[in-house]
Chain A
Amino acid sequence: GAGVSQSPRYKVAKRGQDVALRCDPISGHVSLFWYQQALGQGPEFLTYFQNEAQLDKSGLPSDRFFAERPEGSVSTLKIQRTQQEDSAVYLCASSLDGGVSQPQHFGDGTRLSIL
């Protein structure tokens, strides 16, 4: 069945370039999360959407990071003026609604490498 889809799977960019990472959640899922997973670490929360509303962006590491979900489905995570420390796997997850009992379904992630 259709799961969470992320694109691209791999992205290489030069330091200073802007990048955009896409997440297609499971159809009908209200909640959408972005996580950042550095090498050898567990995923760390970046931001959360309920439909099109960004309810929490406390995990975004700097103002260079921006996320949107304008129509309440597809979401884009944008990183401006990339730095080497932005190299990581960016994971997207969706769940049916905002209830804490609903499991999060993860995508395969986008592996971002900044040269």
Chain B
Amino acid sequence: AQSVSQHNHHVILSEAASLELGCNYSYGGTVNLFWYVQYPGQHLQLLLKYFSGDPLVKGIKGFEAEFIKSKFSFNLRKPSVQWSDTAEYFCAVNRRTGFQKLVFGTGTRLLVSP
């Protein structure tokens, strides 16, 4: 069965600090990878996705993620965070074939202090 691990449950950073959130997945086949973000009081929104091609993908608001197949990882990065990045971040995976059922990690709460 697929599973997703997010090792950092809570992260606290100051504005302008760099961010890296870890995500590892377990699945024997080919997968699509996603990062979703949930800002306080809002619904889950897609931040970025990887299907194929360049393993370094860029998303909205200056976020990027790198797919490293050998490590089964899809870590999220941002060089300089802002207070408005305070949110919960979820890594998710689905199978490349079949329908789109997403398997989520447990999420990482990011607090950016001004």
> Could you tell me which A residues sit within 8 Å of B by CB distance?
3-4, 31, 33, 35, 40-45, 48, 50, 55-56, 59, 91, 93, 95, 98-104, 106-109
Contacts and interface: CB of A to CB of B under 8 A. Distances in A.
B101 A48 contact: yes
Interface in B66-114: 90, 92, 94-107
Nearest to A3: B43
Contacts of B104: 35, 42-44
B99 A98 contact: yes
Contacts of B12: none
A60 to B, nearest CB: 13
B43 A109 contact: yes
A107 B51 CA distance: 24
A93 B45 CA distance: 11
A107 B92 CA distance: 17
Overall SS of chain A's interface: loop
12 contacts: A33-B100, A33-B102, A43-B102, A43-B104, A48-B99, A48-B101, A91-B44, A100-B51, A101-B32, A102-B100, A103-B46, A109-B43
A42 B100 contact: no
Contacts, number: 67
Interface of B: 4, 32, 34, 36, 42-46, 49, 51, 90, 92, 94-107
Contacts of A40: 106
Given A50-B99, A100-B32, A100-B100, A42 B105 contact: yes
A42 B101 contact: no
Contacts of A101: 32, 51
Contacts of B46: 103-104
Given A42-B106, A101-B51, A106 B99 contact: no
